[in-house]
Structure 1
Amino acid sequence: MKFVTGALALALAAVPAAAQAQDKDKAEAEARAYVPQVVTTRHQGSFGGQRVNYSATIGETVLKSKEGVPEAAIVTTAYVREPRDPSRPVTFLFNGGPGSGSVWLQMGAFGPKRVAIPSDARDDGAPPYPLLDNPDSLLDVTDLVFIDPPGTGFSVLLPGADPKNYYGVSQDAKAVAQVIRRWLNDNGRWNSPKFLGGESYGTTRSAAVVNELEGQTYNDVALNGIILISTILDFGAESEVAGNEMGFVTTLPSMATTAAYHGKGLAGTPAAEVAEQARQFAIGPYAAFLLKGQKASSEERAAVRARLSQLIGLSESFLDRAELRVSPDRFYKELLRDRGLTIGRLDTRYTGKDYDSAGESPDNDPSFYGIDAGYTAAVNSWQRGALGFRTDREYQAIGSVGPWDWSLGGGGRSAYLSVAPYIGTALRENSGLRVFVGQGWYDFATPFFGAEYSLSRTGIPQDRIAWHYYDAGHMMYVRDEDRAKLARDIRAFIRAR
């Protein structure tokens, strides 16, 4: 009887194992049968004052496992000047998130078409959203390849693929680097001047991809330039956790510029001057006060409180209750509480109205819901329409790519996470590499002083880093004047190679 019972148990246990093996075989068969889509169309446009004939190729690059099983279909959108020139610069671009598609840079800043949304920090309203020619596109000076990593845009993991192989700082960078190498192979562009650019987490990705392209012993891809737009490299310094004082230091200058913009603090003073006054206070008296903690004297506390109030436009009584440490959420809610308004995170020029004016954090980010519908409509219309990409998948402007592995070879996100040293290594080991950094005065997602702090650390050569600032927020190109300025600045950066 015991033997029969044991045999039955073994037989029952074998059923799920057999089913799992069957499911795995089915998923592998589906993945191997996947046929990537590639569509090329031809167009004309005027960019940077030049008439340009160009091809637009939207297609899927299939990445495989070590065993040769297809795992991911990564969509790239390449705009290449015709007739083709193998010595012409090529720029690879992506957005951030880490779950964000390339829609923002492609349809807002550098692609041949752009969506028209209000330039003055107003809500984009309801459709239709005009899709316009974009004279600020960089196609006059460089070919453009927009990359959507797995889980973003139309890019997907194929049946049976393990998300852990793609969803993480290093894993994501390896995949993007592989796509870049494949594109260079397929298009005969290994000897072209090469630029790499990203926005937001895309700057984190840029640093990690540079490490994959240039930091390996074999098959190096040397770069001419890295373009960082709205930079986040040092997650340790900017982490909003109890006990970390650097976050208050790096956000203070953004609070000051924002307060002045809304008629508080140093109202009437140019943003660049406000920023400089706030930088000096933040890194000097304020940082010293924070580091002393409860050992700071009452006189020092009073002096710091008074100057902090003068700079960021909040009352001394509020600052006292907050222990002179104002979190971003509290600032969004408190600055314009007397007007019944909150301010944006991505762009603090935007304002919104919450359900009520109590509480200490806003209901939502008015600078995101103020633009997202227009961009999503534009990218779907352009890529499914004029570019001819056919799919029943939804375009993931902000997709779910979790859980994300924040470790850099071990330690997890609980360890101090900064990818800035990757850029330092690349600069030291490639004398022809330069870095462009573009920051908005009114960006709280990636504050400009945080970018300055991360890139001023020991081991990062300073003479090949160019800084540029804009009178808008995270996506500075939503403001017409700053989109044109950003394009001019990057054109000059590429031409100066």
Structure 2
Amino acid sequence: MRPWSLLMTSVLAIHLAGFPASADDTKETPKAAEKGKADEKDDDKLIVTQHETKIGEESIKYRATAGLMPLHDASDKVEARMFFVAYTVDTKEDQPRRPLMFAFNGGPGSSSVWLHLGALGPKCVVVPVDPTIPPPPYRLTENAQSWLDKTDLVFIDPVETGYSRAIKPELNKKFHGLQGDIASVSEFIRMYLTRYERWTSPLYLVGESYGTTRAAGLAGHLADKGIALNGVILISTVLDFQTIGFGRANELTYSLFVPSFAATAWYHKKLPADLQGLGLPELVTEVTKWAEGDYLAALGKGDRLPDEERTTMIKRLARYTGLSERFVDLNDLRIPQHLFSKELLRDERKSVGRFDSRYLGFVGNAGSPSPEFDPSEAAVRPAYTATFNQYVRTELNFKTDAPYHILGGGQIGAWDWGAPGIGYPETGSALREAMGKNPHLKVLVASGYLDLATPFAATDYSLAHLKLASALRKNVQVTTYEAGHMMYLHGPSLIKLKRDAAQFIDDSDGR
């Protein structure tokens, strides 16, 4: 899954001034970055600039550090350099007591640009209010919903994303796998806490999409290294890949996608009048109960399903998804995401987005089984590519001729998911273990009703099967938004996400 993020802009109109840091402005910056100079001898390239913005009624002065963090092997040789952008607020308080949050997106193979310029950072991409593809040229504006008033932020680009690179191409395979990725990001976090003297800060992780897989795994990995977290925020979550992997021998996924199909059909007004008249939460509650009950039981019967019961299931599935009974019948009651995205609006020669099904794409061949492209991806990738490349060079003053790999660039090949025969990849168990070792760890889970990449029902199912001790279940808070994979595409959801995150930090920072 690829994470995409976006931001509404009607309330964003605050000026941000950027200028190079002076020697007096670098109290939390290693000497390599003083006066905005890079220290090649230390294998670092760190550039520091000073800025000011306004979030709510509060004017905030902060420092931005853009640079490369070296990762070393057991013999202390540099294996890779990871690019990051850190925002730290100037405060009279003891800096190590201010919350610190590490943020990343997913892919695998995505940079952190989506969370960075979409929801959390002090700047955001200007996009249309409606779910449409914006015209170029693109620009940034101030982010009135930035999380910087609540926590310092460090955006991490894993190896071969962004400007992060392995020293030699043959080293990439070490980092491009479930465990290698977790280990390398864990080492980055250790290095950051050490170099910037933040070991006693309240610590948080926030990941989106595959970034939630990474965040859950990191929670367990860091706990084993003695690094306790205050909180983990999971945005558009996948903890167990069985819940999103369509396959002949995996009936579970088909049932977990149906509520998101229903939400999408409701949004596009393709449901019967009585269902169309329901509120979205009420609708998905009804559909989820049926999909995880009678429907999943029917799928489990396979060829033993009686004809009468099969007919009943066909009618109900068509009713809840906006698809024809014939289409449901021809697909044997099992509708994968790509078929649904093409079929729902096929007669209108349109397809719906995977990451956000509010977005529509015009199709060239209405008779083909799958969409030709994802309109929700097309709506954001050019804008984020252009604005980040301009922003990092001009306002952050980090200048390089290297390409910034937004998504899927560089030397990322086949992802190592682990040894064969161990089942579907999952990191929910690592999160459970981290919570067991640190009963103060809290988790905030944010899902979108219109997400067809990591459906909210799949997330809820995974959380219900973490096997948490009853005393720890209260530490998990789940919120669902009327938007897609990147719920901050939707203005009201963006505001709610900031409000939920702010309250979460206040409730968990331990101060």
TM-score with structure 2 setting the length: 0.87
Identity of aligned residues (%): 40
- Superimposed CA distance per residue, residues 221-267 of structure 1 (whole angstroms, 9 cap, x where no aligned partner): 10010000000111123212222111101101000000000001232
2:435 aligned to which of 427, 438, 444: 427
Report the counterpart of residue 483 of structure 1 in structure 2: 494
Q: Distance in 2 between matches of 1:49 and 1:423?
A: 36
Secondary structure of the 2:443 match is: strand
- Superimposed CA distance per residue, residues 383-406 of structure 1 (whole angstroms, 9 cap, x where no aligned partner): 111001111111111024222111
Report the counterpart of residue 117 of structure 2 in structure 1: 107
1:349 and 2:358 aligned: yes
Q: Which has the larger radius of gyration?
A: 1
Q: Distance in 1 between matches of 2:386 and 2:56?
A: 26
Secondary structure of the 2:474 match is: coil
Secondary structure of the 1:118 match is: coil
Equivalent runs, 1:189-208 vs 2, <5 Å: 189-208=198-217
Report the counterpart of residue 36 of structure 1 in structure 2: 44
2:67 aligned to which of 31, 37, 59: 59
Which amino acid in structure 2 is aligned with residue 466 of structure 1? Q
Secondary structure of the 1:462 match is: helix
Report the counterpart of residue 213 of structure 1 in structure 2: 222
Equivalent runs, 1:194-273 vs 2, <5 Å: 194-214=203-223, 216=224, 219-265=225-271, 266-273=275-282
Report the counterpart of residue 188 of structure 2 in structure 1: 179
- Superimposed CA distance per residue, residues 343-367 of structure 1 (whole angstroms, 9 cap, x where no aligned partner): 1101000011111210111100001
Check whether the contact 2:124–2:142 (CA below 8 A) recurs between aligned residues. yes
Deviation at 1:339, TM superposition (A): 1.4
Secondary structure of the 1:86 match is: helix
Deviation at 1:161, TM superposition (A): 5.2
Equivalent runs, 1:80-479 vs 2, <5 Å: 80-83=88-91, 85-127=95-137, 129-159=138-168, 162-214=171-223, 216=224, 219-265=225-271, 266-400=275-409, 401-407=412-418, 410-411=419-420, 415-460=423-468, 461-479=472-490
Deviation at 1:271, TM superposition (A): 1.5
Which amino acid in structure 2 is aligned with residue 464 of structure 1? N
Q: Distance in 2 between matches of 1:198 and 1:54?
A: 23
Deviation at 1:119, TM superposition (A): 2.7
Which amino acid in structure 1 is aligned with residue 132 of structure 2? R
Deviation at 1:51, TM superposition (A): 1.2
Q: Distance in 2 between matches of 1:62 and 1:434?
A: 30
After superposition, the CA RMSD in angstroms is 1.5
Deviation at 1:189, TM superposition (A): 1.1
Which amino acid in structure 1 is aligned with residue 367 of structure 2? A
Moved more, 368-377 or 159-168: 159-168
The 1:157–1:33 alpha-carbon spacing in structure 2 relative to 1, beyond 3 Å, is farther
- Superimposed CA distance per residue, residues 27-51 of structure 1 (whole angstroms, 9 cap, x where no aligned partner): xxxxx97832000101111124321
Which amino acid in structure 1 is aligned with residue 482 of structure 2? D
Deviation at 1:327, TM superposition (A): 1.1
Q: Distance in 2 between matches of 1:270 and 1:106?
A: 32
The 1:458–1:356 alpha-carbon spacing in structure 2 relative to 1, beyond 3 Å, is closer
- Superimposed CA distance per residue, residues 175-198 of structure 1 (whole angstroms, 9 cap, x where no aligned partner): 111111111111211111111010
TM-score with structure 1 setting the length: 0.90
Deviation at 1:268, TM superposition (A): 3.3
Deviation at 1:269, TM superposition (A): 2.1
Check whether the contact 2:217–2:428 (CA below 8 A) recurs between aligned residues. no
Deviation at 1:160, TM superposition (A): 6.1
Q: Distance in 2 between matches of 1:347 and 1:160?
A: 35
Report the count of equivalent residues.
459
Which amino acid in structure 2 is aligned with residue 87 of structure 1? R
Deviation at 1:173, TM superposition (A): 0.7
Q: Distance in 2 between matches of 1:62 and 1:48?
A: 37
Q: Distance in 2 between matches of 1:197 and 1:417?
A: 20
Unmatched runs of 5 consecutive residues or more in structure 2: 1-39
Moved more, 194-203 or 154-163: 154-163
Q: Distance in 2 between matches of 1:438 and 1:368?
A: 20
Secondary structure of the 2:243 match is: coil
Deviation at 1:212, TM superposition (A): 1.3
- Superimposed CA distance per residue, residues 147-205 of structure 1 (whole angstroms, 9 cap, x where no aligned partner): 00101111111136511211111111111111111111112111111110100000001
Q: Distance in 2 between matches of 1:178 and 1:231?
A: 23
Q: Distance in 1 between matches of 2:487 and 2:301?
A: 37
- Superimposed CA distance per residue, residues 442-492 of structure 1 (whole angstroms, 9 cap, x where no aligned partner): 001111111111111152342211111111111111222211111111001
Report the counterpart of residue 18 of structure 1 in structure 2: none
- Superimposed CA distance per residue, residues 208-228 of structure 1 (whole angstroms, 9 cap, x where no aligned partner): 1112101x2xx4110010000
Secondary structure of the 1:220 match is: coil
Check whether the contact 1:48–1:138 (CA below 8 A) recurs between aligned residues. no
Check whether the contact 1:237–1:247 (CA below 8 A) recurs between aligned residues. yes
Check whether the contact 2:221–2:430 (CA below 8 A) recurs between aligned residues. no
Moved more, 417-426 or 279-288: 417-426
Q: Distance in 2 between matches of 1:471 and 1:261?
A: 10
Check whether the contact 1:253–1:278 (CA below 8 A) recurs between aligned residues. yes
Deviation at 1:134, TM superposition (A): 0.5
Unmatched runs of 5 consecutive residues or more in structure 1: 1-31
- Superimposed CA distance per residue, residues 272-303 of structure 1 (whole angstroms, 9 cap, x where no aligned partner): 11111111011111011001111111221122
Q: Distance in 2 between matches of 1:257 and 1:125?
A: 28
Q: Distance in 1 between matches of 2:57 and 2:313?
A: 51
Q: Distance in 1 between matches of 2:379 and 2:148?
A: 28
